[in-house]
Structure 1
């Protein structure tokens, strides 16, 4: 496969780090997924992605569709 800018023609080569700008519109925020990640995970229009984060944390995790952990997260009542 040919490589260009650290990416294979179809997906990620070794390690990916890429920033994205948050867009606002219609009362919501939108962040695009890098094409290399979408290709690596074989994402298609309409796929659901799970985002998890903890209160006060400076990072969040995006989970690949169908990966361990599923798509539901239960929050305990305090």
Structure 2
């Protein structure tokens, strides 16, 4: 894809804003993330994303796995 499509070889160029449709199934909701964001953050299958929001907010924040403000899960050696 060209840079004008919001993508580059490894993620986002400039600013990315895209809408996503919510899917429903098996008692849960699913939303996909843009491929450019997954590439930018090097997200892999099984990674966890932290979503934060406060009561009454009209927006939420998604945190990159392992980032400050985000979190990462690991398996204990115990």
Gaps of 5+ in 2: 73-78
CA contact (8 A) 2:64 2:70 kept: no
Q: Distance in 2 between matches of 1:27 and 1:41?
A: 29
Gaps of 5+ in 1: 73-78
1:66 and 2:66 equivalent?
Answer: yes
Q: CA deviation at 1:10?
A: 1.9
CA contact (8 A) 2:10 2:36 kept: yes
Q: CA deviation at 1:39?
A: 0.2
Q: Specify which structure has the higher proportion of strand.
A: 1
Aligned to 2:76: none
Number of residue pairs aligned between Structure 1 and Structure 2 = 71
In the superposition, the TM-score normalised over structure 2's length comes to 0.84
1:16 and 2:16 equivalent?
Answer: yes
In the superposition, the TM-score normalised over structure 1's length comes to 0.84
For the aligned residue pairs, the C-alpha RMSD in angstroms reads 1.5
Moved over 4 A (4+): none
